[in-house]
Amino acid sequence: MNRLFSKTFILAAISVVCYIFVYTQPMWNFKFKAPQYPMGLELDIFMTGAKGDVAEIDIINHYIGMQKLEDAAKNEKAMAPFVLMGLSVLSLAHGLFPRKKVLHILSLAILGFPLAFVTIFQLWLYKFGHDLNPAAPVRLTPFTPVILGEGIIGQFTTYAVPGNGFYLSCFAALCVIISVFISRKNETVKETF
């Protein structure tokens, strides 16, 4: 086994392990505080759904006319396992065949995954805060929940930060960037001799 293959394969294997954990770890974390909830409420967003104080948050959302959390991103949640499997296969293919230029181009999907997640997530936050039921008991001006940092919704202060799953997806992308860099550098060295 040559050095290039072993380095790229190890990076690919690390990337695949990251994707396994992306499936089990929250992609985003929210904390909500309000006078009637001094201990706060927590919500973890996973690739396949939400966990935490979901029932309580759904009740609060109902009063302002928001949909239930389970209604968000149904197609995206159904596709999540296949997306993660596809990214894992792509990582392994790049690790096994590091000199294939087509795989360098396809690796852009791995690099784009964290950005795509944030974009889709932001669109869903916008949709939830703007498609409010006009017959809701409490009327709020349409809003977009803050995706990063502190925000205010009615009497709630929200805190949003990326979760472990998001960081792992970024680390998987970094492994692929390093792998591509190593294989390109190896090609450059070969061409000079």
Task: Name the average pLDDT for the chain.
Answer: 89
Q: Is the pLDDT of residue 188 over 60?
A: no
pLDDT digits (tens, 9 = 90+) for 77-122: 999 999 999 999 988 887 787 777 776 677 788 889 999 999 999 9
DSSP string, 133-167: -TT-SS--------SSEEEEETTEEEEEEE-HHHH
Q: 3-192 domain in CATH 1.20.140?
A: yes
Q: How many other CB atoms sit within 10 Å of the CB of residue 48?
A: 17
> Out of 3-12, 14-23, 38-47, which region has the weakest mean confidence (pLDDT)?
3-12
| CA angle, residues 89, 92, 94, in degrees to nearest 5 | 110
Residue 183: per-residue pLDDT: 77
Higher pLDDT, 75 or 183: 75
d(CA 166, CA 172): 10
The runs of H, that is alpha helices, within 25-106 are 54-64, 74-96, 101-106
Judged by DSSP in three states, 130 sits in helix
Residue 157 has φ and ψ, to the nearest 5°, of -100, 130
Every domain of the chain and the residues it spans: 3-192
Confidence of residue 187 (pLDDT cuts 50, 70, 90): low
10 Å CB burial of residue 28 (0-12, 13-18, 19+) is buried
Q: Would you say the C-alpha torsion 99, 104, 107, 111 has a positive or negative sign?
A: positive
Confidence of residue 5 (pLDDT cuts 50, 70, 90): low
pTM of the model: 0.87
